[in-house]
Structure 1
């Protein structure tokens, strides 16, 4: 594989507006002074192929002077797609940058302020150094790689890592649960996840997953008995999922448990900092809040079940992980003197069955992709664009083996009772 084949094509050449003047503006904003002279910079792709899709990312190594003092800074620049094609067309009318900018500039600082008030120095995500919606949509972050953070790409998370991830998610959810009760206007406009963001929800990648899944059930004799259940779900599963995502805004329930859902909570949207001696996790930061919205607490938990967890964690340890998550969620609310009713673990568990359509959507449309995400040759664009390629992923032996264990559990848990 050549060096360029490891990166997305639209990240090999930076747009002309990513120039000296732009970087000077960013550094001025970061340094809080106009006395900045950019002396040199180098632009390279920001991530490797397969790490993301709904944006274009560059790394900028910038050398500059302030009053004659030489400095340097490594930046990650996230922009909207500009190359004509399906990605640009799908995302041009979306709310993803407006959402992410609000999370980084208003929500996360507020979260961290609440944590600081109880002596907790936890950071949720990387520092946002600059952002713009006009004339170009972009966000500039501090590069975490020089600070010792990495994305875990080539293996599943181990037990210690996944436990730390669930604790971090519990912090994120607990603070949002508290603030949504106390200052609900803080979350105005955070309402578009991928099941109610029209430009994404209507894409074939989203709409066709259950159809491919039914075809696979029919083609595998030992799974064929589950086909009628998913055929019955097929007619309204997307609408049921949309209703779940819009529930807080359109039809809030008295027993609803609503938090800020990350919306795309998988292992490539995290960066880990490990101790170089004992390899223990020292910190985890969340990335990519483009699809964050206020919704049922279980939506992120579903997503972590399928897209964050390993097969072993899904099949053998998720009850333990959910208990750990809830214990930490509860402890955070107690520490910040939340004066409302803290959701019980049993109440969260009841939400799983209540919002089962989203779980079954992820099972039928996303789980097969999870097995592909650790492939170094993964081509996300091909997955998005090619139905034949997507269907081929469903024939992965490990995926089919897992279906033989998961589908009976759903049957025995009553997930299909009203399906036929």
Structure 2
């Protein structure tokens, strides 16, 4: 009897797990959010708008006098394109559906996942969904950035950035929006993007692309921009920036106004065309959607410009020293502002050693062997990189500290040559 009861219970459990009936999309009604109803790719059916059998469009854009060509790949279909003939599960529970893989494509999803994705499209701003669904929608929006519905796609991506805080999504989408502004020659949209990047998590895009857009559109950098980019300008002493941000910003603004007779700085006044043309370039993929671009494009590295770094480093250093004096005077008068530095969390932060960043920095060092000025700034990056891992692992602390010290010594050895190179650079 016990054996019979066991099989009865087993049969009951199996019956409970029987999958829901699968249907074709054409047999099921679903709704799209109003923002995206006209910017979704459909592979077949009466609303078909994507054809993977041909190159849809060849487009060109210009950065600093250099023209770039982008064309849709003939080898890969649009990953976000909805195939109405593929089966989907009629009713699913979101929490029961497995997460999407990296680089998802609608055609490779399970029936449950397709159903979940279609439900997600009814409200793409619902942050409870797995980030894979956000990326799947985003791939298609990237393609629309190149076409006639550029503004609609731009608007939706910007709204998605507001609610989906995933760092990878913020990085890819931020870079794509900046590059699309340059490609479309839309300084107005670039200004809109800058104004919308008003939260810390929304600043996870390339500093180099930000500077490139400022240079391309002659958009001024204000004191807030300069402070945010202080690490890029190799200014690492952020004591007063973190403790007294309001005073530091006010002081920097005063220095800018005195020196430039305005409250912001144009990169174009600092970096002349002949210096821009000498900048090293680096290959960069424009979009996360691998079906859009056949190859990477070369982007000028403004973050490696010595004259840009030195200009803003000097401004930040002068501000730091001025704030130091002002604070001393205010303390004597008993009027020193309150220290705004956030208290460190008592919870231990788990820091994982970034091998990818280490490899990139070492490659950068190798590429600057014949350029003393660029090499100096790379040494600083390596010093900062290894120093931050000094407390990661007691067994490896000495390794990171030793590497930090090694590059400090290498940098010190090259200071005489650096001075000579700088003296030669200034007259040029």
Compare relative contact order (CA 8 Å, sep 6+) and give the higher one, 1 or 2: 1
Query: Per residue, is there more strand in 1 or in 2?
Result: 1
TM-score normalised by the chain length of structure 2: 0.30
In our comparison, the structure showing a higher alpha carbon Rg is: 2
